[in-house]
Amino acid sequence: MLEAQGLRKAFGSLVVTDGVDLALDQGARHALIGPNGAGKTTLVNLLAGAFAPDAGTIRLRGRDVTRLAPAQRVRRGMARTFQINRLFEQLSVFDNVALAVAERCGAARSLWRSLSARTEIVVRVGELLDAFGLCDVADEPVVQLPYGLQRLLEIALALAGEPRLLLLDEPAAGVPSAETQRILDVLDALDPRIAVLIIEHDMDLVFRFAREITVLVDGRVYARGTPEEIAAHEGVNAVYLGAAAPAAHG
């Protein structure tokens, strides 16, 4: 699904990503962890096309997308969420999802019939809202939602595009613990065919969700393996997990 090789990115003299390789198969559940400043978000930005890499290649579903603009990568089946929500705050939840679904259905072509008359869009929006438990707040402007629901919406928007690859940048970040369960449920319920790369600091979430973990330190891949291997990895424990490493789950 996704193959990144030798990715390198420097801002001035600061090398943020230094020769990173990454491969995700269909249905992957891959977590990216590491200390702050390790370059995790930059890596996601590189994959998503927000920055162009100084070196290296990115292949999506077999096609080289290294030079492709972000919007085009989305059309090829890549979707991402942002660490800080990028939502249409003044619009209602319904409108937010509708915009995302409309893009999927080819909004650019559609100048004549109104959005609400396009039943396929409306139905799909309804399905998404339902799947995310957002039906009750569908009419509310996003800015009035509790942060946890906003985070959910952020993920819903990414899924509206029916992606094959999903890049999640700290989906649970900043969400009060009372509301994280819904996010966990959503992650569990993700279509098994989608390849998912998730950046997270919440180790419980990581170890519960991921089947493979990459540890990024100073822009380089420090360690990679299954959750068990990573939990047992001495270096990782020293560098990052410390005493907080949970017992490896099955």
CB 163 within 8 A of CB 204: no
CB of 113 to other proteins, least distance (A): 6
Question: Where does this chain bind other proteins (CB under 8 A)?
Answer: 48, 70-72, 74-75, 79-80, 82, 86-95, 98-100, 102-118, 121-123, 125-126, 129-130, 135, 138-142, 144, 157-158, 160-161
**Residue of 160, 212, 148, 213 whose CA lies nearest to 185:** 148
Sheet holding 63-64, edge to edge: 14-24, 2-11, 55-60, 63-64
Q: Which is nearer to other proteins, 75 or 211 (CB)?
A: 75
| Residue 183 CB neighbours (<10 A) | 22
Angle at the Cα of 218 (from 228 to 223), degrees rounded to 5? Answer: 20
CB 127 within 8 A of CB 173: no
Q: How far, in Å, CA of 160 to CA of 101, rounded?
A: 5
Beta bridge partners of 197: 30, 167
CB of 178 to other proteins, least distance (A): 25
Q: Which is nearer to other proteins, 63 or 113 (CB)?
A: 113
Q: How far, in Å, CA of 83 to CA of 36, rounded?
A: 13
Q: Which is nearer to other proteins, 85 or 237 (CB)?
A: 85
Q: Which is nearer to other proteins, 153 or 213 (CB)?
A: 153
CB of 155 to other proteins, least distance (A): 12
Q: Which is nearer to other proteins, 110 or 226 (CB)?
A: 110
CB of 161 to other proteins, least distance (A): 6
CB 40 within 8 A of CB 199: yes
CB of 249 to other proteins, least distance (A): 32
CB of 41 to other proteins, least distance (A): 14
Q: Which is nearer to other proteins, 86 or 249 (CB)?
A: 86
